[in-house]
Amino acid sequence: MNKYLDVNPEVAAALASGKPVVALESTIISHGMPYPQNVQTALAVEDIIRKNGAVPATIAVIGGRLKAGLTPEEIEYFGKKGQAIAKASRRDLPVLCARGEDGATTVTTTMIIAHMAGIQVFATGGIGGVHRGAETTMDISADLEELAHTPVMVICAGAKSILDLGLTLEYLETHGVPVIGFGTEELPAFYTRTSGFRVDYRIDTPQDLAAAFRVQRELGFPGGMLVTNPIPEEFSMDPAVINAAIDQAIDECREKGIHGKATTPFLLARVAEITGGDSLASNIQLVFNNAALAARTASALVK
């Protein structure tokens, strides 16, 4: 056990007894939406995981400690402190731990801490990827590199549609990360079910997802697996509406000179404003959908 890691007693007991556990990130709490909606959503996601037969483990950094599993009080603390908490990528963990500070875990750091704790399945909204214009800015999310190196299954609604989805898929292919479509042959685009890009494989059941991931581990491959789960039809947004909002937000982002890890929070917040909150409502529903699939897949994996 890593000396900087604290595993919640419920999570530790589940892992020790071979019960399914699903990791969750904390950036969605601190940076994804306002208080108290962020806390309500985080607790609802945990409840969905429990109802689908698994134990939730929300991941965060609190007081320099890597936390695998938060209490409701800790989730409330994160929700109230909000964007005052630093987003923590791989490069940030050593300094945050050394200083005894807090950090909201991204996809990257949630994968790292989940793997340290022995958690194999992680549910999130959407992963980061290759940003538009990356051929000149080199703005590529650390999430992709982590997927290439850390053996965790990440279940999401595709890459965020603020990104260059084609280049994101090319990057994952180069690094040997399998991209699976759950019940679909087309990459979901976060707010919408379709993108025009094909995934590597279609898989239709949690049992088959678990089997593919189990074989990947038995082969000794070092990286993770990306499962893209389309947003439910009734919550999918009109592609023309959401793409117009994204284009407007990206133009404003460039005009303001925003770059690096500040880019995604700005774009998501601005898109929510432009769409009158519709994108945030869709975001919440796709996270619920991913959590349920992750719990069923984790249950199949331990069997």
pLDDT of residue 226: 98
Among 87, 93, 127, 86, residue whose Cα is nearest residue 228: 127
Least confident of 12-26, 63-77, 220-234, 243-257: 243-257
Average pLDDT, the chain: 93
Q: How far is CA 68 from the centre of its chain?
A: 15
Q: How confident is the model at residue 270 (pLDDT cuts 50, 70, 90)?
A: confident
Specify the DSSP element, H or E, that contains 56: strand 55-62
The set of residues, in sequence order, having a beta carbon less than 8 Å from that of 4 and lying 6+ positions away, is: 64, 65, 66, 97
pLDDT of residue 269: 79
Task: Please tell me which residue in 46, 67, 87, 160 is annotated as part of the active site.
Answer: 160
Which CATH code is given to the segment(s) 5-302? Answer: 3.40.1790.10
175 pLDDT above the threshold of 80: yes
160 annotated active-site: yes
> Which tokens in the block code for residue 212?
């593919």
Specify the DSSP element, H or E, that contains 23: strand 21-24
Q: How confident is the model at residue 239 (pLDDT cuts 50, 70, 90)?
A: confident
In this predicted model, what pLDDT tens digit does every residue of 36-93 receive, in sequence order?
999 999 999 999 999 999 999 999 999 999 999 999 999 999 999 999 999 999 999 9
Calpha distance 189→7 (Å, rounded):
33
The pTM of this model reads 0.92
Task: Please tell me which residue in 25, 46, 76, 146 is annotated as part of the active site.
Answer: 25
| pLDDT, greater one: 122 or 241 | 122
Show me where the domains of the chain are located: 5-302
Secondary structure (DSSP) of 162-228: TB-HHHHHHHHHHTT--EEEET-SB--BTTBS--S-B-SEEE-SHHHHHHHHHHHHHTT--S-EEEE
